[in-house]
Amino acid sequence: MLPIAKQEFWQLTKNIKSIVMVIVLLAASYYFSKNGRVFAEFLGYGSDTDAALYATGLIIIVLFLGPLFVMALSHDVINREVSNRTIRFLLTRTSSNRIIWGKFIGTVAFWVTCIALAVIIIGITSHTFSGVILASVLCLLIIEIAFAVVLSIVIPKPRMTMFLGIVFGIMLPILSNVVEYTDKWWGNFRYISPMHYIQEENWQMIILPIAAIVLIVAATQVFKRGEY
Q: What is the DSSP annotation of 21-36?
A: HHHHHHHHHHHHHHSH
Beta-carbon contacts of residue 166 (< 8 Å; ≥ 6 apart): 68, 71, 72
42 pLDDT above the threshold of 70: no
d(CA 13, CA 22): 9
Q: What total of structural domains would you count in the chain?
A: 1
pTM, entire model: 0.90
pLDDT digits (tens, 9 = 90+) for 144-192: 999 999 999 999 899 999 999 999 999 999 888 888 888 788 778 888 8
d(CA 59, CA 130): 12
**Three state DSSP letters for 136-165:** HHHHHHHHHHHHHHHHHHHCCCHHHHHHHH
Domain that holds residue 162: 2-224
72 pLDDT above the threshold of 90: yes
